[in-house]
Amino acid sequence: MSNLILFSSINFLWYAFPLAAVVSLVYSASRYESPKIILLRSGRLFTTIIIFMALVLGFLFVVQR
């Protein structure tokens, strides 16, 4: 039964990817001026955000059990 709760909210997880992309682009654009550096730094920040959110999701899944 508890697995159904996790799977019912999986659709909301798809919002995390564009949100992380926008946050990383805006943050990088506010700190750097070169488009090349902005894209490199935002890609790195996007990856960091997604990995962190995946770790938190995994931790919460383990704690839920």
pLDDT, tens digit, 9 for 90 and up, residues 22-56: 999 999 999 999 999 999 999 999 999 999 999 99
Query: How many other C-beta atoms can be found within 10 angstroms of the C-beta atom of residue 27?
Result: 15
Residue 1 has pLDDT above 60, yes or no: no
pLDDT at 9: 59
Whether 62 has a pLDDT exceeding 70, the answer reads yes
Report field, pTM of the whole predicted structure over 0.75 = yes
Helix (H) or strand (E) holding 34, with range, is none
Q: How confident is the model at residue 10 (pLDDT cuts 50, 70, 90)?
A: low
In 3D space, the residue among 51, 43, 50, 16 whose CA is nearest the CA of residue 27 turns out to be 43
